Structure 1
Amino acid sequence: MKQPTKNTMSKRVIAIIITAVAVIAIAAGVALAVHRHHATSQLTEAKTACAQAADRLRVAQNTYNALINGDEYKSAVKITAKQVEDSKVVTALAKDSGDEAPKMVACNVDDKTALERNTGLIDKNTTWYETHTKTIDTDVKNVVKARDAKTLKDTQAALVKKITDAKKLYDASNGKVKDNKTRDALKKQLDTAGKLKDGKDVKKIKDAQTGLDKAMKTVNNSVKAKQDADKKAAEEQARKEAEAQAAAQANAQAQQQYVAPQQSYTPTYTAPQYTAPAAPQYTAPQQTTPQYTAPQQTAPKPAAPAAPSTGGNTGGGPVSGGHGCGSLCTSAPTDTYDR
């Protein structure tokens, strides 16, 4: 058997060394590749975790923002302590709404440690938003509930008072309305309101109060209408009575004016008829034949004046021998007129 030479052994050693070095290099490369792959995988996992945390934070933020931008929250924060039965709920809502939101944290880093730290902060912020959303939502509901409770209580009290006023009006208006149907309508509204005064539906209670208001207004208008009608009738009656009285007074005055001249005229008119100046005017003409009055007053001879009246002689001469009136017939008128 041929023995290997020294040169051959050296080559073989070199080959072995080279092979070993190659194996080591390959192993180192593989190890480095594995390490690099593991580091890259961990970074990727960290980025994924941070991104997922950011998504959860985004959802929590959106829910929180939807709450505080909603109509219910905006309405609740306007409610004052005077509008609720317990003012503590208003204080709690104001306090929780005043808490400052956390600062934003991003995932745009390439360091696994930094990503893990930011992911923790993001999760913490998510918890804050979720907690405050629940807290503020509870506060809002408490405030609204307290407001509604006081509103119901006040509405019930207002309806009770309105019922009392309506009953007084119903009783007082008996016989004083122009149309009694208005009182019937008010009575119907009173019956409806009486059934709702202890109810829980604020709208129905307010509707009942509105119904009473309208019915009471109708009754009051009817009362006023009757008062106006009665006043007008009274004024018309007073006018008629005044006119009648004025007519009576005018008639009385007319009668007084007509009678008074008669009373004042009669004495002045009758005095001339019966006084001395009237005697010559009426008595002297009546004595148209002086033959009857003058002889009776101057001569006691009845036979002498009888001759002219029986003889029918209308002349101036005597029937028998120159006897007759003589100087007596001519003197009698003279004596009479001389008087």
Structure 2
Amino acid sequence: MEQPTKTKNAMSKRVIAIIITAIAVIAIAAGVALAVHRHHATSQLTEAKTACAQAADRLRVAQNNYNALINGDAYKSAVKITAKQVEDSKVVTTLAKDSEDEAPKMVACNVDDKTALEHNTGLIDKNTTWYETHTKTIDTDVKNVVKARDTKTLKDTQAALAKKITDAKKLYDSSNGKVKDNKTRDALKKQLDAADKLKDSKDVKKIKDAQTALDKAMKTVNNSVKAKSEADKKAAEEQARKEAEAQAAAAAQAQQQYVAPQQSYTPTYTAPQYTAPAAPQYTAPQQTTPQYTAPQQTAPKPAAPAAPSTGGNTGGGPVSGGHGCNEGNCSSTPDLGYIPR
């Protein structure tokens, strides 16, 4: 009877040992599983952080490229170009419109959640795409504006040179024989030949230099023309002055020869004026008026009128003038009035 009891006890111990072992194995397995899970989660979080950091690095590069473009001289120069300076104003409008787009907001990787990190990484990648796209777009816009400006500048410069060449040729032809120094025309002709070779050039600087050289040569010719004109005018004025002086001298000499007799004759003509003796001849009889009243008072005497008839007047008429005197100086003879026959 003791043997079965021993067997039961042994079996019970074995079962307990198995159970304990099983529990231990389960516990170990659970611990391992938990450790594995934790390791996997940590690994995923690390990977998410790494991915976000890498995305942020790409964004930073894209931002730097974008900022370098809009802060660069090419962009700053392009945005100052107006529609009047380009051949096609649309390129200026396009650049202005693209430059107005706002940059996206910043997104960080400073989160400890895998899902949040993945979300932020997606936003960062999207922002990177915006910067990269706008960098290319604005760079193209800038190049289009600059190209349009350069094209118009070239055409305008070529047209200006062509006009300058035309003006210079006219000046060269019209100044022939009118310059003080003909070397100025030779220099102008030299610059004309050089400008003709550059009128179709694509080098704006060379075209402008040729135009500047023509301007300088034309100015020299114009100054030479002006100098000769002034010299000719001065010579003409000097010649006119000399001729006027010669004419004045000749006229003065001729006047002296003609005026001398007039000066000697003038006094002989004005001296014997008749008006001097005329006054006393008329006033003298008026002064004898009182002598006329005395004979009128003695009018009854018949012998008074017979005295003048013995002076040679044989006629019976009145004495000439009615004054009783017809010859000699009658100023002292009294006025007897009218004597009847």
**TM-score bin, normalised by smaller chain:** 0.7 to 0.9
Moved more, 280-289 or 6-15: 280-289
Offset at residue 331 of structure 1 (A): 40
Offset at residue 243 of structure 1 (A): 2.2
Moved more, 219-228 or 315-324: 315-324
Relative to structure 1, is the Cα distance of residues 48 and 289 closer, same or farther in structure 2, using a 3 angstrom cutoff? closer
Moved more, 2-11 or 296-305: 296-305
Say if 2:325 and 2:333, in contact at 8 Å, map to a contact too: no
What is aligned with 2:286?
286
Measure the CA separation in 2 of the matches of 1:21 and 1:120: 46
TM-align CA RMSD = 13.7
Say if 1:295 and 1:328, in contact at 8 Å, map to a contact too: no
**SS of residue paired to 1:277:** helix
Say if 1:105 and 1:118, in contact at 8 Å, map to a contact too: yes
TM-score (norm 1): 0.74
Relative to structure 1, is the Cα distance of residues 153 and 320 closer, same or farther in structure 2, using a 3 angstrom cutoff? closer
Relative to structure 1, is the Cα distance of residues 299 and 198 closer, same or farther in structure 2, using a 3 angstrom cutoff? same
Say if 1:92 and 1:139, in contact at 8 Å, map to a contact too: yes
Relative to structure 1, is the Cα distance of residues 235 and 23 closer, same or farther in structure 2, using a 3 angstrom cutoff? same
Say if 2:323 and 2:337, in contact at 8 Å, map to a contact too: no
Offset at residue 246 of structure 1 (A): 2.6
**SS of residue paired to 1:99:** coil
Measure the CA separation in 2 of the matches of 1:127 and 1:319: 155
Specify every segment of 5 or more residues in structure 2 that has no aligned partner in the other structure, as ranges. Answer: none
Say if 1:60 and 1:126, in contact at 8 Å, map to a contact too: yes
Say if 1:304 and 1:325, in contact at 8 Å, map to a contact too: no
What is aligned with 2:212?
210
Moved more, 3-12 or 74-83: 3-12
Relative to structure 1, is the Cα distance of residues 328 and 318 closer, same or farther in structure 2, using a 3 angstrom cutoff? farther
Moved more, 32-41 or 82-91: 82-91
Measure the CA separation in 1 of the matches of 2:322 and 2:120: 194
Relative to structure 1, is the Cα distance of residues 307 and 195 closer, same or farther in structure 2, using a 3 angstrom cutoff? same
Measure the CA separation in 2 of the matches of 1:59 and 1:260: 115
Q: Deviations over 1:279-336 (max 9, x none)?
A: 9999999999999999999999999999999999999999999999999999999999
Say if 1:81 and 1:90, in contact at 8 Å, map to a contact too: yes
Relative to structure 1, is the Cα distance of residues 285 and 81 closer, same or farther in structure 2, using a 3 angstrom cutoff? closer
Q: Deviations over 1:112-142 (max 9, x none)?
A: 1111111111111111111111111111111
Measure the CA separation in 2 of the matches of 1:317 and 1:123: 164
Identity %: 93
Say if 2:45 and 2:112, in contact at 8 Å, map to a contact too: yes
Relative to structure 1, is the Cα distance of residues 302 and 148 closer, same or farther in structure 2, using a 3 angstrom cutoff? same
Offset at residue 37 of structure 1 (A): 0.2
Say if 1:295 and 1:332, in contact at 8 Å, map to a contact too: no
Say if 2:285 and 2:331, in contact at 8 Å, map to a contact too: no
What is aligned with 2:70?
68
Moved more, 278-287 or 316-325: 316-325
Aligned length: 335
**SS of residue paired to 2:139:** helix
Relative to structure 1, is the Cα distance of residues 303 and 184 closer, same or farther in structure 2, using a 3 angstrom cutoff? farther
Relative to structure 1, is the Cα distance of residues 298 and 240 closer, same or farther in structure 2, using a 3 angstrom cutoff? farther
Measure the CA separation in 2 of the matches of 1:45 and 1:320: 172
- Structure 1 consecutive aligned stretches of length 4 or more whose deviation exceeds 6 Å: 265-337
Relative to structure 1, is the Cα distance of residues 271 and 281 closer, same or farther in structure 2, using a 3 angstrom cutoff? farther
What is aligned with 1:101?
103
Say if 1:272 and 1:278, in contact at 8 Å, map to a contact too: no
What is aligned with 2:160?
158
**SS of residue paired to 2:337:** helix
Moved more, 280-289 or 293-302: 293-302
Q: Deviations over 1:158-200 (max 9, x none)?
A: 1111111111111110100000000011111111111111111
Measure the CA separation in 1 of the matches of 2:122 and 2:276: 155
Relative to structure 1, is the Cα distance of residues 153 and 291 closer, same or farther in structure 2, using a 3 angstrom cutoff? closer
Offset at residue 56 of structure 1 (A): 0.3
Specify every segment of 5 or more residues in structure 1 that has no aligned partner in the other structure, as ranges. Answer: none
Moved more, 317-326 or 91-100: 317-326
Say if 2:66 and 2:132, in contact at 8 Å, map to a contact too: yes
Offset at residue 247 of structure 1 (A): 2.3
Measure the CA separation in 2 of the matches of 1:122 and 1:60: 11
Relative to structure 1, is the Cα distance of residues 22 and 256 closer, same or farther in structure 2, using a 3 angstrom cutoff? same
Relative to structure 1, is the Cα distance of residues 109 and 260 closer, same or farther in structure 2, using a 3 angstrom cutoff? same
Relative to structure 1, is the Cα distance of residues 160 and 294 closer, same or farther in structure 2, using a 3 angstrom cutoff? same
Say if 1:307 and 1:319, in contact at 8 Å, map to a contact too: no
Say if 1:84 and 1:143, in contact at 8 Å, map to a contact too: yes
Relative to structure 1, is the Cα distance of residues 315 and 258 closer, same or farther in structure 2, using a 3 angstrom cutoff? same
